[in-house]
Amino acid sequence: MQANNEKTNLELYYEWINKNSNKNKVGIKIKKIVSTLVKELKSNKDYYFNHKEANKTISFIEKSCFHTTGEYNKQNFKLELWQKAFLEALYGFYDKKTNLRRFKEALLIVGRGNGKTALASAIALKSLILDNEANAELYSIATKRDQAKRVYEEMRRMIFINPNLNKILKVKRDKIEFIHNNSFFQPLSSETKTLDGLSPYFVVLDEVAMMEKRDIYDVMRTATAKRKDYLMLLITTNGSIRENIFDERYSYAEKVLENTIKDNKFLPWIYELDERNEWKNFNNLYKANPNLGISKYIDNFKAEWQEALITPTQQPNFLIKHCNLKSNLDSALFSRLDLETKNNKIINTDEYLIKNRICTIGIDLSKTNDLSAVVFLIPNLDTNEFILLSQFFMPEARIIEKTTEDKIPYKLYQEQGILTLCKGEEINISEIVNYIINIMKKYNLICYGIGYDTFNSYLLKQHLDNAGFYLINNLIRFGVRTISPIIKALKLEFDDNKFVFNQNPLLKLHFNNVDVLIDEEKENMMPIKRSKNKRIDGFISLLFAYKIFRDNKDRIYIELYKIYSQK
């Protein structure tokens, strides 16, 4: 039971939630867990609330921990009400029989920029210094070592700011030691050669949604069995990797909240939007961002939100990272099996199948220092197919960097003749235009249109106009109304084996990287990269070429019949 008549932060937060429920600032899951815990403050046969222990944690963080970045740098860590309520839940409830802390695992899901890493770092310092656990092993865990070190680096900065902490803690390159009870904090990752033999007392798993495999969670969870009073703290925003440990723990959290699973030692603390379409009302974004207006600046965030409203390709990332919603882009447009088994026909490009034909062309011109693509689409009436000639362009100075980033053998593709390296640091638009001219001359092609995105198109249009293509320039607005019907039609052609890729592995790879953002209400779809380094330039180029073909389909077929009648 509560030790005194003073209101807890949980109760104060519960009151705040009730006052703000009509303002759409609080999500269902937070309401549910806070409501449940407030009831248990007053009556619970198995657990009691230790006000002193809860307050000790809050007091330590606010007096001994510091903000380390931005305008609050070197100022005392000021906990917001939601953070205090979370800490009270985590450190205030104790088992009546064992007098051990109730919660052994907590899942904190909150939007990007809400201070979760700083909070986890402060909790880790508290656990290292105040918990009196002899020979305690504390770890931050992530997929990559750089990610795992984020909590460590935040702790290190806090220690250097506070001379009292600096006296009692020994900071090493990859470890923080508390000599008084022979304890330490250390960052580890799934890249660590072995995690065997650990005896973790406290574990923070940073950005759980980025973990593709659950192995590291399972190893640490099993290892905590060596400690009576361990704590696993999972902190994250949502992510685009599905069927991973995040999905499993999130599903588990939902069942605990719904009471379909009884687990009194698991604390789900989830900030998210309740419905997908809520994100279009800015006020609803507080549901996933409790620190909005504090560590997350409203003006900057509102500008990002407004841009996402009108830019479909930015919406998936916004929904995932700022709303904690699963994005609908997670299903690939083309299955791996279809990519392996369909559209694999090979032709000799020097044969009559290509010469003296009609074509449309698509160009995806990237940033000046990135990969760009050109695709010729050549309809073939004999086979009712589309022959594709694809070429990619990259600055020569960037090939090593891009090979490492993308994990793609670009040098091999240059040797195979499907990648052109432009001298220097930037894409040379003249080389792209010259390639188009040379292919058209080589095969005596008649071009019915060149399609490319209106965005950043001035220089490309100028080069094409100067080369004599001013009558067939087609600036294409990359919006839902324009692109969605083209994707659907192109997908049908692909499924019917209508494209001749002619063994261009880079083009097929770009098809493999295409995910789709789907508007379920209007059944629209937009293509988007599966992840940052998954290129789709070749697919976008074909999309533009295919749009030009569909826009001129009747004229093209009339012209094709004339050509075929002369054979």
Q: 512-515: which pairs have CB atoms within 8 A and are 24 or more residues apart?
A: 512/332, 512/334, 512/336, 512/339, 513/539, 514/332, 514/333, 514/334, 514/539, 515/316, 515/329, 515/330, 515/331, 515/332, 515/333
Is pLDDT above 90 for 84? yes
Whether the model pTM is above 0.85:
no
| Secondary element (H or E) of residue 37 | helix 28-42
Q: Count Cβ atoms within 10 A of the Cβ of residue 400 and give its class: 0-12 exposed, 13-18 middle, 19 or more buried.
A: exposed
The mean pLDDT of the chain is 90
Query: Considering just the CA atoms, what is the radius of gyration of the chain in Å?
Result: 29
Q: What DSSP line would sit under 41-105, residue for residue?
A: HH--SSEEE-HHHHHHHHHHHHHH-B--SGGGTTSB----HHHHHHHHHHHHEEETTT--BS-SE
3-class DSSP assignment, residue 367: coil
Please name the residue ranges forming H helices in 230-281: 245-257
* Local confidence band at 523 (pLDDT 50, 70, 90 cut-offs): low
Local structure of 395: helix, strand or coil = strand
As a dihedral over the C-alpha atoms of residue 120, residue 217, residue 255, residue 98, rounded to 10 degrees, the angle is -70
How many Å apart are CA 329 and CA 563, to the nearest integer? 42
Which amino acid does the sequence have at 278? E
Give pLDDT tens digits for 508-517.
999 998 988 7
Residue 92 token pair: 């205030």
**Phi then psi dihedrals of residue 522, to 5 deg:** -100, 0
Is pLDDT of 22 > 80?
A: no
H runs (alpha helix) in 259-384: 298-310, 315-323, 336-341
Gap between the Cα atoms of 502 and 496, Å rounded: 16
- 336-565 maps to CATH 3.30.420.240: yes
Query: What is the DSSP code (8-state) at residue 296?
Result: B
pLDDT tens figures, 312-354: 667 778 899 999 987 654 467 887 788 888 998 888 876 667 8
* CATH number given to 9-323: 3.40.50.300
Do the Cβ atoms of 301 and 112 come closer than 8 Å?
no
Task: Classify residue 379 by its DSSP letter.
Answer: E
Q: What is the pLDDT of residues 26-52, one digit of tens each?
A: 999 999 999 999 999 988 899 999 999
- Segment among 79-88, 135-144, 489-498, 522-531 with least mean pLDDT: 522-531
- Domain layout of the chain by residue ranges: 9-323, 336-565
